[in-house]
Amino acid sequence: MQPDNQRRTFLKGLTFTIGSTVFGVPLLSFCSSETEGNTTQESQTGAANNQNRKLGIALVGLGGYSTHQLAPALQETKNCYLAGIVTGTPSKAETWKAKYNIPDKNIYNYQNFDQIADNKDIDIIYVVLPNAMHAEYTIRAAKAKKHVICEKPMATSVEDAQRMLEACRQNNVQLAIGYRLHFDPFHQRVMELGQKQLFGKVQSIRAHNSFVMGGPGSWRVDRERSGGGPLMDMGIYCVQAACYTLGKTPVAVTAKFGEVTKPDIFKEVEQSISWRMEFENGVVAECNSSYADQEDFLEGKADKGWWRLGPSFGYEGKEGETSQGKMNYPNIFEQARQMDGQAASFRNNTPSIVPGEMGLRDVKILMAIYDSARSGGKRISIS
């Protein structure tokens, strides 16, 4: 399982600049925006003030990811800070209030959540709830005129993802998805290798991401809350990896469910699933995700070389190698880099590198994978 209880150093000042996504948006450019002044002294001052202002983030849902990753990351960020929390557990509210010095006026529960619209301290709402709740709280956040970061997967249905996008458009706020690996130097290098064809045309991709589920108590094995099993939780990283390696969307998928060896746990969701993603250039990505195995790697082969990340998808400890040698990149505090990047795009009204449209694309792919597996492996086109 991905470690969630260790801190790593957020290396400030690193700069990475690479290609473009399938949406034609720059994947990442961390050159300082503070050098981009206007010609007049007045406009320079106004721009600097806007660029220097930290945006307030409210975390909605104080589970393990918020507790062990996002809140610590927000102590390291330069463009945003932990301004508020939303929780249904009063004891958690008191603990967080004391630990992070959060004022009472910035603490909400799920009943009074909509009052957050009147709070000028909060610019961004980060939805960190079970998957089935993403749509409701993204839409409510948009109606409160707050920008939104939504954890992956964006939604448990294509229809919900579309409603989320529409709500943000109608309320003139931005929606980004919590795809932290777009901000990680190892994965950025893979994007560069694949999209720029630095080793020639990509021939194939393999991505596996799995961990062993300990018992039946997790919301992740409750279909109503999770929307599915390891595909929705861990497999989405493999879907993402194949897409951003090539900078393309697959044209079709085929899939099959794995054997269920723990029926007491996996009554409602799959225990494991494997699938193939076909791309228009003939590349096939072979992927697998399971709650009964321990795998974590991303591989690519091209005409003139290869690359491998492993561990690849966890929060830290990444290692990478290519046919030319080791990848010498730091393991950064990904969530800090992610939230800083997303806050900068919101603050400067520039397109996110991980927009809601990307989340919708991925939900369409996930649903197609499930359709194929339920049909016994039928090839499903992605539209």
- DSSP structure class, residue 200: B
Whether 320 and 337 map to the same domain: the answer is: no
Please report the pLDDT score of residue 279 as a whole number. 98
Same domain, 172 and 62: yes
pTM: 0.88
Q: Which of 125, 134, 75 is nearest to 99 (CA)?
A: 75
Separate counts of helices (H) and strands (E) for the chain: 12, 15
Q: Domain for residue 275, yes or no?
A: yes
Rounded Cα–Cα distance for residues 52 and 33 (Å) = 10
Exposed, middle or buried by CB within 10 Å (0-12, 13-18, 19+), for 200? exposed
Burial class (CB within 10 angstroms; exposed 0-12, middle 13-18, buried 19+) of 316: middle
287 and 140 inside one domain: no
Q: Give the residue among 255, 206, 268 at the shortest CA–CA distance from 370.
A: 255
- The answer as to whether 11 is a domain residue is no
311 and 341 both lie in a single domain: no
The per-residue pLDDT for 346 is 97
pLDDT in tens, 213-270: 988 889 999 999 999 999 999 999 999 999 999 999 999 999 999 999 999 999 999 9
CA atoms within 13 A on the CB side of 314: 22
- How would you classify the pairing of strands 80-86 and 107-108? parallel
Looking at 237, 291, 315, 370, which residue is catalytic?
A: 237
pLDDT tens per residue across span 360-369: 999 999 999 9
DSSP-H helix ranges across 66-173: 71-73, 90-100, 134-143, 158-170
* Structure confidence at residue 49 (pLDDT): 55
SS3 content of the chain, % helix, strand, coil (to 5): 35, 25, 40
Question: Is the domain of 244 the same as that of 302?
Answer: yes
- Per-residue model confidence (pLDDT) at position 281: 85
Tell whether 241 and 308 lie within a shared domain.
yes
**In which residue are the tokens 């991303």 written?**
298
Indicate whether 78 pLDDT > 50: yes
Indicate whether 365 and 249 sit together in one domain.
Answer: yes
Alpha helices in the chain (DSSP H): 41-52, 64-65, 71-73, 90-100, 134-143, 158-170, 185-195, 223-226, 230, 236-246, 334-347, 356-374
Q: Is 374 in the same domain as 259?
A: yes
N-to-C CA span, the chain = 33
Q: Which domain holds residue 157?
A: 16-35+53-181+333-352
**Residue 46 within a domain:** no
Strand pairing class (292-302; 305-309)? antiparallel
In this prediction, residue 13 carries a pLDDT of 35
pLDDT at 311 over 70: yes
Exactly one of 126, 137, 146, 152 is catalytic; name it. 152
Q: Is the pLDDT of residue 4 over 60?
A: no
Identify whether 318 is a catalytic site residue. no
Residue 214 resides in a domain: yes
Closest CA to 147 of 342, 284, 360, 378: 342
Note whether 165 and 226 are same-domain residues: no
Residue 278: is its pLDDT beyond 90?
yes
Position 291 pLDDT exceeds 70:
yes
Q: What is the pLDDT of residues 135-166, one digit of tens each?
A: 999 999 999 999 999 999 999 999 999 999 99
Residue 276: strand pairing partners: 254, 286
275 in the same domain as 209: yes
Q: What does the pLDDT average to over 338-359?
A: 97
Inside any domain, residue 47: no
Q: What percent of the chain has pLDDT over 70?
A: 87
* CA 62 – CA 94 distance, rounded (Å): 12
Q: Which residue has the tokens 């959060």?
A: 102
Mean pLDDT to the nearest integer, 54-77: 98
Residue 62: both structure tokens together: 């104080």
> Do 255 and 163 share a structural domain?
no
Q: Is-catalytic flag, 152?
A: yes
46: pLDDT strictly greater than 50: no
Q: Among 11-20, 27-36, 227-236, 345-354, which is the least confidently predicted range?
A: 27-36
| pLDDT, mean of residues 314-342 | 97
3-state secondary structure at position 34: helix
Is 42 inside any structural domain?
no
| CATH at 244 | 3.30.360.10
CATH number at 348 reads 3.40.50.720
